[in-house]
Structure 1
């Protein structure tokens, strides 16, 4: 029997399985906890794609800069999380699916027909996720609402300013696919510093220029014409991932210490599945649940 999704072994299943487990635990808390029952839980899926994992997915124009870094498997990687969230019981009271591509927005709208009992709770936004979500964070009454936000970019679309805005609400739990090997590691060139455009992209993702001193060092090498200073890349997957987790710790109440590498069929990390909790009161419990779910 031919399946519609066979690439990359089971790593795509790992992502969806872990997200689903957390969403079930999250909504159960809002059902059973008396204090939480007064709050409105929201699920937000940025870069929501089509909501499915079956039809081919093409890269958007926003990815042109990183086309040379794409893996064959990634073409179908980010599908299914929107529908998965709608299937979770107990339910969220509101669902927000954000997608910039018109064709994929049309596919997402079909979910309202597939889940007619939740149709009035589904909001589909055609917009850039970075700008729309920052406005949403500022305009939502976080005394009455709580949210799980899933950021699953194809590359380096998630800017640090968005992560800061999400953390500032003190009411959002964040699941994030950090493009560890998909883009970041490859932009950290071995032969000297990255070109200016790549440096700017890395600074937007990390929210600081400190990546330079963490990922590169200056060394003196002898040559026939005397000693010269050279820039040497010190970063590997582990060091990059640790640096990003520490960056999350600067803005979120608690952060999972064991993000999960999602690997392709050649066992190369493409993404790092990260978790951070924003609400100080429930952050330790949330991270404890997430760290258990993130275990290999």
Structure 2
């Protein structure tokens, strides 16, 4: 079961601190290896918005993400990667919003020595990552780090599987624990069909319902009735998702970082998984150490 770490308050800085720490260790560890290193930011320019929840909606309401400051911090992940020394060989910034892609273009001016290595892709992140997974990573001598910091529950399990198939990418994934998944898991189990599809899409199957809910047949004035109640808490959801990752990755951090807001409500789960079997042990050792540590 996952050994959960918890940090509240300034969660945006917490996630970026962990990613920065790993990228620094990663580029140092592989600087004398014969690899072309790739950094991929799959939602590189996504801003935070308020959206209404309904059962047909493709997005969710995330009040904890609202505000200009949060947007600016999110965009910082691309700059963090570009600041790394030794550098990556290539930088792929994926963003579906055309205007945001324009903003990302400024990075070429900010980092002129790396301008030719920057690739900005104006497309859906899931579609792009599933194409990237088709690249012959071993033949091209590639190794990479992927940062998945999506808006809402936009990452498909098919995409996670595609990343694992590369056998070359280390993945950091900001999983929408409290702001997404837990909100859709209604206490009475009466989950709208649209929400159910979103849960199945993010988990990759439908067995979560039997794990997070309990059914009881109780007597009433008219005979008996079936009562459904939610039993899955944040710890159980965390354990389940870590177990799901372990079915496709050779290495998964057992201490994902729970990020909370200033009211100590869980927002996200920062997860790590390594897809290269040979490199997974050392990658896990570094990642789990970073997840345990406190930010200065």
The TM-score, its normalising length taken from structure 1, stands at 0.89
**Which ranges in structure 2 are unaligned for 5 or more consecutive residues?**
1-7
Q: In structure 2, do the counterparts of structure 1 residues 206 and 124 end up closer, same or farther at CA, with 3 Å as the change threshold?
A: same
Alpha-carbon contact 1:192-1:230 (below 8 Å) kept: no
One of 121, 127, 130 as aligned partner of 1:131 = 127
Question: What do you get for the CA RMSD once the two structures are aligned?
Answer: 2.1
Change (3 A) 1:237 1:74: farther
Determine the structure 1 residue equivalent to 2:198. Answer: 201
Contact 1:73 1:264 in 2 (8 A): no
The answer on whether the counterparts of 2:48 and 2:65 sit within 8 Å (CA) in structure 1 is no
2:57 to 53, 59, 65: 65
Offset at residue 65 of structure 1 (A): 2.3
- Counterpart contact for 1:66–1:183, Cα < 8 Å: no
Residue of structure 1 aligned with 2:207, choices 202, 205, 210: 210
Higher RCO (CA < 8 A, seq sep 6+): 2
**Deviations, residues 6-48 of structure 1 (Å, cap 9, x unaligned):** xx8322111001100000110011113xxxx211110000111
Partner of 1:188: 185
Taking structure 1 as reference, are residues 101 and 265 closer, same or farther at Cα in structure 2, changes over 3 Å only?
same
Asked if 1:81 corresponds to 2:73, the answer is no
**Residue pair 1:99, 1:129 contacting (<8 A) in 2 also:** yes
Residue among 142, 149, 152 paired with 1:152: 149
Q: What is the SS of the residue equivalent to 1:251?
A: coil
Aligned to 1:286: 283
CA distance in 2, matches of 1:215, 1:23: 35
Partner of residue 90, structure 1: 86
Cα deviation digits, residues 95-118 of structure 1 (max 9, x gap): 000001111111100000000000
Q: Tell me how many residue pairs correspond in the alignment.
A: 280
What does residue 101 of structure 2 align with? 105
Q: CA deviation at 1:166?
A: 0.4
Query: Is 1:259 aligned to residue 256 of structure 2?
Result: yes
Alignment pair present for 1:19 and 2:19: yes
Task: Please say if residues 41 and 147 of structure 2, whose CA atoms lie closer than 8 Å, have aligned partners that are also in contact.
Answer: yes
Is the Cα contact below 8 Å between 2:9 and 2:264 reproduced in 1? no
Do the aligned residues in 2 keep the contact of 1:74 with 1:154 (CA within 8 Å)?
Answer: no
- Equivalent in the alignment of 1:3: none
Q: Write the deviation string for residues 139-159 of structure 1: whole angstroms up to 9, x where unpaired.
A: 343331011011101210000
Residue 80 of structure 1: SS of its match in structure 2?
helix
Which residue does 1:43 correspond to in 2?
39
Between the aligned partners of 1:84 and 1:59, the Cα distance in structure 2 is: 26
Structure 1 unaligned residues grouped into runs of 5+: 1-7, 51-55
Question: Is the partner of 1:79 in helix, strand or coil?
Answer: helix
Deviation digits for residues 125-150 of structure 1 (CA, Å, limit 9, x no counterpart): 00000011101110343331011011
Deviates further, 76-85 or 96-105: 76-85
Q: Is the 8 A contact 1:174 1:276 kept in 2?
A: yes
